[in-house]
C-alpha cells in the first residue's frame, strides 16, 4: 500500500481531487466523462506534469469492456452507468439525457495498474458496490474506503456491509453528506498536510483519521442506518413525502395548501415540506 496515494473514483470535476492534492497526496482521478477528464487535466496541469496526478478516463464497472453511460446535461453529478439510476434520475426531474459508449474497467484492475492507495473514495452513482466487490481476491487493499450507501434497499445496504466484512474491514463511520460543508480540517493534521479548506456542497469531505466521530462495528453501523432508513421511508426518494414533485402526498399537500391560502388562512403548511431532508450518507470503512 502506498501511504501517499489516494484514489478519487468518480472524480466529477475534480472537487475532491483538489483537496487531496492540496493535502500533499498523489491522486489517481478516475472519471467516465471525457470532458471532465480534459477539464481536470487542464485545471491541475502542474500536478499532472509533476506526476502527482494521474487522470484515468474510464467508467468503473463489474466487467471490463464498452458500456453505456447515461449523461444528465442538467445535473452533471447524476451521470451513471447504472440504467436503474438513470431511470430514477428521470423520475426526479433529470435534464435532457445522452447515452455514451465508454470504456469500463474493474476497480481491482486499476489498483493493479496504478498501485494500492491509502484511501479510496468511491462515488459512482449506483455502481459503488460493484466497484467495492471487485476488490475481493486482491492480496493488498486500501486502509480506508468510502462508498455512497444505498438509499432505497435495506437488502443492498446489508450487502454493502457484508462485502466490507469479507474484504477485512471492521470499523465504520457513517457520514451525513448533506452536512459536509460544516466540516473543518483539524489544525493538527492526521492525514497529509493541514489546509484551511471549505468544502462545497456535494464534495466528499474529510477522510481516514481526520473524520469526525468515532469508529464503530458493522452491527453498530447497521443500527445507525435503521434510523436513517426510517427517515428515508418518510421523506426519502421513495418515501411517503419524497419522490419530488411526482409524490402523491406532495401533490395532495400542495393542493391543500393552495386551498387554505385562497381562503385566507396562513396557518396551513404542506406536510411534505416540514420534514427535514433525509440527506444521503457515505459509509467509511477501515482495515486495522
pLDDT digits (tens, 9 = 90+) for 157-206: 999 999 999 999 999 999 999 999 999 999 999 999 999 999 998 899 99
- Label the pairing between strands 171-176 and 281-286: antiparallel
**195 class by beta-carbon count within 10 Å (0-12 exposed, 13-18 middle, 19+ buried):** middle
d(CA 127, CA 124): 6
**Residue 262's pLDDT band (boundaries 50, 70, 90)?**
low
pLDDT of residue 158: 97
- First-to-last alpha carbon distance for the chain, in angstroms, is 13
pLDDT of residue 98: 77
Structural domain 2-230+277-286, CATH architecture: 3-Layer(aba) Sandwich (3.40)
Annotate 11-42 with b (16+ C-beta within 10 A) or e (fewer).
Answer: bbbbbbbbbbbbbebbbbbbbbbeebbebbbe
Cα–Cα separations (whole angstroms), residue 269 to 37, 97, 101, 257: 45, 35, 46, 6
pLDDT of residue 2: 97
Least confident of 87-96, 125-134, 203-212: 87-96
Domains of the chain, by residue range, sit at: 2-230+277-286
Q: Does the pTM exceed 0.75?
A: yes
Annotate 70-87 with b (16+ C-beta within 10 A) or e (fewer).
Answer: bbbeeeeebbbbbeebbe
Q: Is the pLDDT of residue 261 over 80?
A: no
pLDDT average, residue stretch 135-151: 96
pLDDT of residue 145: 99
Q: Where are the alpha helices (DSSP H) in 6-127?
A: 15-22, 34-43, 45-50, 83-91, 107-114
Dihedral sign, CA of 258, 243, 125, 2?
positive
Structural Rg of the chain based on CA atoms: 20
pLDDT of residue 194: 98
Least confident of 46-55, 233-242, 273-282: 233-242
More confident residue, 64 or 197: 197
pLDDT more than 90, % of the chain: 63
Q: Is the pLDDT of residue 240 over 50?
A: yes
pLDDT digits (tens, 9 = 90+) for 78-117: 666 666 655 665 655 555 577 878 899 999 999 999 999 9
pLDDT average, residue stretch 37-65: 96
Q: Is the pLDDT of residue 150 over 50?
A: yes
pLDDT average, residue stretch 140-160: 95
Q: Is the pLDDT of residue 265 over 60?
A: no
Least confident of 84-93, 218-227, 249-258: 249-258
Residues 6+ apart with CB under 8 A from 265: none
pLDDT of residue 249: 47
pLDDT of residue 245: 46
Q: Is the pLDDT of residue 263 over 70?
A: no
Amino acid at each position: 500500500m502506498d501511504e501517499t496515494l489516494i484514489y478519487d473514483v468518480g472524480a466529477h470535476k475534480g472537487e475532491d481531487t483538489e483537496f487531496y492534492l492540496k493535502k500533499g497526496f498523489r491522486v489517481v482521478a478516475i472519471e467516465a466523462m471525457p470532458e471532465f477528464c480534459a477539464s481536470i487535466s487542464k485545471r491541475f496541469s502542474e500536478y499532472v506534469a509533476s506526476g502527482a496526478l494521474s487522470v484515468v478516463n474510464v467508467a468503473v464497472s463489474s466487467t471490463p469492456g464498452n458500456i453505456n453511460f447515461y449523461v444528465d446535461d442538467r445535473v452533471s453529478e447524476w451521470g451513471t452507468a447504472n440504467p436503474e439510476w438513470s431511470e430514477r434520475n428521470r423520475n426526479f426531474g433529470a435534464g435532457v439525457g445522452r447515452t455514451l459508449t465508454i470504456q469500463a474497467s474493474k476497480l481491482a484492475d486499476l489498483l493493479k495498474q496504478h498501485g494500492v492507495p491509502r484511501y479510496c473514495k468511491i462515488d459512482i452513482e449506483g455502481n459503488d458496490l460493484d466497484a467495492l466487490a471487485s476488490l475481493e481476491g486482491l492480496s493488498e487493499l486500501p486502509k480506508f474506503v468510502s462508498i455512497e450507501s444505498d438509499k432505497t434497499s435495506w437488502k443492498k445496504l446489508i450487502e454493502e456491509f457484508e462485502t466490507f466484512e469479507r474484504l477485512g474491514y471492521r470499523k465504520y463511520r457513517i457520514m451525513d453528506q448533506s452536512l459536509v460543508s460544516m466540516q473543518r480540517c483539524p489544525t493538527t493534521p492526521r492525514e497529509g498536510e493541514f489546509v484551511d479548506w471549505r468544502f462545497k456542497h456535494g464534495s466528499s469531505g474529510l477522510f481516514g483519521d481526520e473524520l469526525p466521530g468515532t469508529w464503530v462495528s458493522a452491527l453498530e453501523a447497521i443500527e445507525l442506518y435503521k434510523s436513517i432508513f426510517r427517515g428515508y421511508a418518510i421523506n426519502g426518494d421513495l418515501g411517503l413525502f419524497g419522490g419530488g414533485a411526482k409524490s402523491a402526498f406532495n401533490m395532495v399537500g400542495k393542493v391543500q395548501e393552495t386551498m387554505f391560502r385562497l381562503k385566507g388562512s396562513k396557518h396551513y403548511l404542506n406536510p411534505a415540506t416540514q420534514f427535514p431532508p433525509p440527506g444521503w450518507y457515505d459509509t467509511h470503512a477501515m482495515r486495522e
